[in-house]
Structures are given as C-alpha cells and as structure tokens.
Amino acid sequence: MSTKKNLIERWKPYNNLSLVLKKGTGFDNDGLDYRGFPFADSHAKKNIKGIKLEDVNFLYANFENCMFTKGVFKNCVFETTNFKEIGLWDCTFIECKFIKTDFQNAMMGVNTVYQDCVFDTCKLKGKYFNFGSQAKFLDCTFSKCDIRSAWILSVIFENSKFESKFANIRFSGIKEANLRGKKEFPATFKNCDMKNSMFKSLEIMDGAKLENTVLPNQESIRFNDDRTYYE
C-alpha cells in the first residue's frame, strides 16, 4: 500500500516538475497518477499556463502558493490536496471532486468556472480566502465544508447545493459592488439549496441576489437598515 511519504518521494528523480505537469506525463495507473505531486516544494516556476488535464488523481498533491492561468481540469480528483494561497485565472474545472482539499487563503478564481464539481469536507477559509471575482459555480455541491471569513462579491452560484457551515460570511450587495467598480456585481445565488446549512455571523446585504434559493430555517434580524443578519 502506498503511503503519503512514498507517493511524494517517488517524484524525486524528476528534475522539472513544471514540464511534467504541462506535458501530462505523470504515472499511468488507470488514468494519470499525480498522487503526492510535490509541486510547491520544487524549484520549478510556480506560474503554470494553459495546461489541460483529464482523469487525473491529485491525492496529497501540493500546490501551495501556485498560480494557474487558462488551465482546464476535467474529471480530476483533488483529495487531501494542498491549495493554500493558490491563485486561479481563466481556469475551468469540469466534473472534478475536491475532497478534504485545503483552500485556506486561496483565491478560487478570476473568470474561473466550476461545472458539476463536488466539494466535500473542504477548508474554504482564511484571512485572505475568497471565492474569486467573475467566478461561476454551476451545478456544484458543497458538503460538510467549513466556509469561513469571506465576502462574496461578483460570484455566481447556480443550481448548487450547500450542506455546510457558513461563519463570518457576507453576501455582498449592490452598494459594495458599486464601490468596487463597474464590472463588479452583487453575490448571486440562483436556484440554490442551503436549507441544510448552518449560518453563523452571516450577513446578507441589501441587493444580494437570491433567486429561487432556499435558506436555512434560522432566525435572523434586520440590522443597520441595510442587511439581514444571522447571529
């Protein structure tokens, strides 16, 4: 049985992990095997552009503080993957699974799309964590995730289901969008189901868009005449 240590150490003979990633030349075990891929620990350049990967297993991979631009990932599994402080620009994730993935202080995407993705027991938090800008989460599921300390602005969630804990979260409204610039828009949730989530210290600012979206059955108060607040 392969241990985490063994999976990481098997990459030592590779001098250029950046090239391995770009060419899609990981181990072949019923699909590309990038388990233990220690990219963040290597001396390779951490800004990767234009990669396209499908059916890849990224168990225990480390991408901390890496940047991806115009990457496409399809049917990939990111289990116990380190995405701390990662940055994503113009990327697409299709039918990917994020299981116990650590997104602490990550920026989940500028002009980035997550389509039919599953987030299970992920850490979506940190002082600098955010869901991105001009990002879309379409037909996604968030189960048992820790979603904490984020202002959601210029992000669209559509046909998505949440069974997670939200703490110290703001669904930004029209006022925040106008202050940030012409391209910004309020937090937008369309046809989303949050009824089995828990809200703690969460505020929904006036102008945030919640269309056909079910919220948890919790008490809320009207606060400061510009928001709905869940204690």
Query: What is residue 92's predicted lDDT score, i.e. its pLDDT?
Result: 98
Query: What is residue 121's predicted lDDT score, i.e. its pLDDT?
Result: 98
Query: What is residue 117's predicted lDDT score, i.e. its pLDDT?
Result: 98
Query: What is residue 30's predicted lDDT score, i.e. its pLDDT?
Result: 56
DSSP H helix total and E strand total for the chain:
3, 24
* Entry pTM: 0.94
pLDDT one-digit tens code per residue, 98-115: 999 999 999 999 999 999
- For the CA atoms of the chain, what is the radius of gyration? 18
pLDDT one-digit tens code per residue, 164-173: 999 999 999 9
Query: What is residue 46's predicted lDDT score, i.e. its pLDDT?
Result: 78
Query: What is residue 151's predicted lDDT score, i.e. its pLDDT?
Result: 95
Least confident of 24-38, 127-141, 201-215: 24-38
Helix %, strand %, coil % for the chain, to 5? 10, 45, 45
Mean pLDDT score across all residues of the chain:
93
Q: Cα–Cα distance between 119 and 137 in angstroms, integer? A: 11
Q: Cα–Cα distance between 229 and 231 in angstroms, integer? A: 6
Burial class (CB in 10 A: 0-12, 13-18, 19+), 28: exposed
**Among 185, 175, 171, 177, which residue's Cα sits nearest to residue 215?**
171
